[in-house]
Amino acid sequence: MPNNREHNKICENQGYDKKLCEQINKWMDEPAAEFPGCQHRNFRHGKNDCDSIYEDVFKKTNDVNKAEQAKEICLLHRIIDKKLDKGCGCKPLFED
């Protein structure tokens, strides 16, 4: 399972803004403090969460491009976690 450093590195290598990568990946994995391992993926890892990130970033910045990038970062995080799932079978990652 990739840690935030790895998520951020992949995110930046895809051309996304470093600070936005750090912000979105940190937010998505914050539940890991309370729910270790892949259990944390049951929180903030659903497709609807990525839609919510778009809305939140747009409300805060009024910048459609930044909001779209935030959503794409969230979706990238999900893809990476899904690809490296190793049998957790986290429902939010496989709902679509």
Q: What is the pLDDT along the chain (96 residues), one digit of tens a residue?
A: 688 999 999 999 999 999 999 999 999 999 989 988 888 888 898 899 999 999 999 999 999 999 999 999 999 999 998 887 776 766 666 666
* Residue 72 contacts residue 16 (beta carbons within 8 Å): yes
**H-helix segments, 30-94:** 47-61, 64-83
Residue 92 confidence (pLDDT): 66
Q: How many domains is the chain partitioned into structurally?
A: 1
Residue 27 belongs to domain spanning: 4-94
What pTM did the predictor assign? 0.90
* Residue 2 contacts residue 80 (beta carbons within 8 Å): yes
Residue 65 confidence (pLDDT): 97
